[in-house]
DNA sequence: CGACATGTTGAACCTCATCAACCGACGTGG
DNA sequence: CCACGTCGGTTGATGAGGTTCAACATGTCG
């Protein structure tokens, strides 16, 4: 009861996988859960290590990365509040997960959680649909990495964040905080810090965005940004 | 019975999603299935159209592609015999599916198939795990598209095909038929036909592969190819 | 055989990576 | 309190890798 109470106060209760569960199911899930905080930069899971952890992201931003043998890095996924972290039905992790900002997680031990998946079809269904969405997102990103120019990549990324974060997504004047530093942006976009920086100032110069400090982003025109991103406005 | 008989003769019976199903379940699936052939180049499903079709690939190679507004193309997935085609739990397609070679499909109408998914948890589980594998593969490819050189990309692709096709995957001397033409290779690797062609001749010149005709590929050293691909041999 | 698609090779160009210098913010220790 | 180092970010100069454009070779199918 006390535990369940925590869930009812949870910031991401409705949006996370928990949203698909009844009170009784939620209680079971809650029994195995615990909160944990990670400082920006900390490693949460490591590639080629056994899967030990599943988690809901309560707050913050997590980057999933892969590295080549000689150390080149690519971000293959970003997770925000209410997203789910962890590779179900896999033995070893295929990527690193690191806190891109300070992060708060609601963690489930892997063995207990996999038993719950087997018990509650709704939970499994929810995870399935999220995986399908992740796959769609990954494929969208493949188009960006394979075929888009540096300018288009940066614009696409800002558009992505705007759609996820801005209070009024369709409006001009939307603003948000950039959760990544330039180096992480570069690793996500398949570019270098220098080009990212240059493209950002270029977007500022053309009057499509305004940059406040280094993290504050204000969009003057969603349509022009979508145009610069090389994609249709509705996408 | 006659129908079930067809399944028992099916080339991909064990490897496709059908492998997870009992005879009774298979019978139900079979009732709604029909075979269909597509010539190389034909479009099987179109982006932004409603989902109407799920299918097992009996033979041939299918490319999943995305296009920018101005026509640049990127292959975001390749499907081979025994793979599954179709976006479950989605309203509209997010990509095009086209026959890269002549293709034979075992097609299920979407509505009937989704009812079967709801009925047979094993089937759903199987599709879930395939989706997770697809996601892993997509993310591997993001590393390639974002961070690898042209030489590494081509080598990685040959390695991928070798692992999937060659009779004795671990052996040197493995050989297979390239299922894609140069233009498709380019669209998969985020390059142009010209660079693909140059890198292929370069691999031939360094004695890592032999090219017979335009489609026949023979690998002299799996280890050297993995090295050229910029990844550890076991990957 | 001829026509068209597919593949190769060459030369010029351009985008982006690389290398380097610089700036501001922040934190730490003398 | 200021000197110092570190980290994140910006800007400039240079060059390499890959695209683009073009010509040519090869293959395939009627």
Alpha-carbon distance of A147 to A145, in angstroms, equals 6
Q: What mean pLDDT is predicted for residues B192-206?
A: 97
Q: Which of B68, B87, B141 sits opposite A142 (nearest CB)?
A: B141
Closest CB from B140, B187, B231 relative to A69: B231
- Residue that has been written with the tokens 């009024």 in this structure: A168
Count of other CB atoms within 10 angstroms of residue A115: 12
Query: pLDDT at residue B169 above 70?
Result: no
Protein residues bordering strand D (Cβ below 7 A): A 181-183, 193-194, 196-198, 200-201, 211, 214-215; B 149-151, 190-192, 194-195, 198, 213-214
Question: pLDDT below 50 — which residues of chain A?
Answer: 1
Please state, in angstroms and as integers, the Cα–Cα distance from residue A234 to each residue in A160, A169, B70, B161, following that order: 12, 11, 16, 36
3-class secondary structure, B53? strand
H or E element: which one contains A176? strand A175-177
Cα B125 from Cα A72, distance rounded (Å): 35
User: What pLDDT sits at residue B231?
Assistant: 83
pLDDT computed for residue B166 by the predictor? 64
- Helices in chain B by DSSP H: which ranges? 2-9, 23-32, 110-119, 121-147, 150-165, 182-189, 193-205, 222-228
Closest B-chain CA to A66: B143
Distances (CA, A) of B202 to B40, B56, B185, B234: 28, 37, 16, 24
Under an 8 A CB cutoff, do A131 and B136 touch?
A: no
Alpha carbon distance B111, B99 (integer Å): 23
Nearest to A170 by CA among A161, A162, A178: A162
Phi-psi map region of B107: left, alpha, beta (phi>0 left; psi -120 to 50 alpha)? beta
Instruction: Give the number of beta-carbon pairs within 8 Å between A and B.
Output: 119
Q: Which residues of A touch B70 (CB under 8 A)?
A: 230
Q: What is the pLDDT of residues B60-109, one digit of tens each?
A: 999 999 999 999 999 999 999 999 999 999 999 999 999 999 999 999 99
Q: CB within 8 A of B130, min separation 6: which ones?
A: B17, B83, B84
pLDDT band at B2 (very low <50, low <70, confident <90, very high): low
Task: Match 């996500």 to its residue by tokens.
Answer: A188
What's the pLDDT at A231? 84
Residue A157 CB neighbours (<10 A): 21
Q: How confident is the model at residue B8 (pLDDT cuts 50, 70, 90)?
A: confident
∠ CA B176-B220-B134 to the nearest 5 degrees?
50
Rounded, the Å distance between the CA of B120 and C1' of D4 is: 68
* pLDDT at residue number A152: 98
Class assignment of domain B2-144? mainly beta
Q: Which nucleotides of D are covered by protein (CB under 7 A)?
A: 8-13, 17-22, 27-28
Cβ atoms A85, A57 nearer than 8 A: yes
Query: Which residue gives the smallest C-alpha to C1' distance to D19?
Result: B192
Least CB–CB distance from B74: residue in A121, A143, A231: A143
Residue-level pLDDT at A232 = 75
SS3 A128: helix
Nearest to A86 by CA among A32, A143, A45, A117: A45
Domain boundaries, chain A: 2-144, 148-228
Q: What is residue B78's predicted lDDT score, i.e. its pLDDT?
A: 98
A209 Cα distance to chain centroid: 22
User: Could you tell me if A166 and A219 are in contact, meaning their C-beta atoms sit under 8 angstroms apart?
Assistant: yes
Instruction: Tell how strand A73-79 and strand A84-85 pair up.
Output: unpaired
- CA of B195, C1' of D20: distance in angstroms: 11
d(Cα A171, Cα A173) in Å, to the nearest integer? 6
Handedness of CA A154, A198, A148, B85 (dihedral sign): negative
Q: Checking DSSP bridges between strand A103-109 and strand A53-59, what pairing results, if any?
A: antiparallel
Q: Which nucleotide's C1' is closest to B194 (Cα)? A: C8
Query: CA B50 to CA B42: how far, in whole Å?
Result: 18
Residue A6 confidence (pLDDT): 81
Q: Do B131 and A128 touch (CB under 8 A)?
A: yes
SS3 A42: coil
Q: Which residues of A touch B147 (CB under 8 A)?
A: 68, 72-74, 190
Write out chain B residues lying below 8 Å of A139, CB-based.
64, 66, 76-77, 94-95, 138
- Sequence-ordered strand ranges (E) for A26-143: 34-38, 43-45, 53-59, 62-67, 73-79, 84-85, 96-99, 103-109
CATH class of A148-228: mainly alpha
Q: Is B26 exposed, middle or buried (0-12, 13-18, 19+ CB in 10 A)?
A: buried
Residue B178: pLDDT over 90? yes
Instruction: pLDDT band for B20, please (50, 70, 90 cuts).
Output: confident
Q: B149-228 in CATH: which number?
A: 1.10.10.10
CA distance A62 to A39: 11
> For residue B233, what pLDDT is reported?
67
Average pLDDT score, chain B: 93
Q: What is the pLDDT of residue A172?
A: 54
């Amino acid at each position: 009861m006390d535990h369940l109470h925590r869930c009812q106060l949870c910031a991401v209760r409705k949006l996370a996988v928990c949203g698909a569960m009844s009170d009784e199911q939620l209680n079971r899930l809650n029994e195995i859960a615990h909160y944990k905080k990670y400082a920006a930069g900390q490693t949460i899971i490591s590639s080629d290590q056994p899967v030990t952890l599943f988690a809901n992201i309560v707050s913050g931003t997590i980057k999933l990365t892969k590295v080549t043998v000689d150390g080149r890095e690519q971000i293959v996924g970003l997770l925000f509040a209410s997203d789910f972290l962890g590779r179900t039905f896999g033995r070893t992790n295929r990527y690193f997960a690191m806190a891109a900002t300070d992060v708060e997680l609601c963690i489930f031990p892997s063995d207990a959680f996999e038993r719950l998946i087997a018990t509650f079809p709704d939970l499994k269904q929810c995870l399935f649909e999220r995986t399908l969405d992740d796959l769609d997102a990954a494929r969208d990103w493949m188009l960006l990495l394979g075929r888009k120019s540096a300018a288009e990549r940066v614009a696409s990324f800002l558009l992505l964040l705007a759609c996820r974060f801005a209070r009024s997504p369709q409006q001009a004047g939307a603003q948000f905080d950039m959760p990544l530093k330039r180096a992480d942006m570069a690793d996500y976009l398949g570019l270098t810090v220098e080009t990212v920086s240059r493209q950002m100032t270029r977007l500022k110069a053309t009057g499509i965005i305004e940059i406040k400090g280094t993290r504050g982003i204000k969009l003057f025109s969603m349509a022009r940004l979508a145009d610069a991103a090389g994609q249709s406005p509705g996408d």
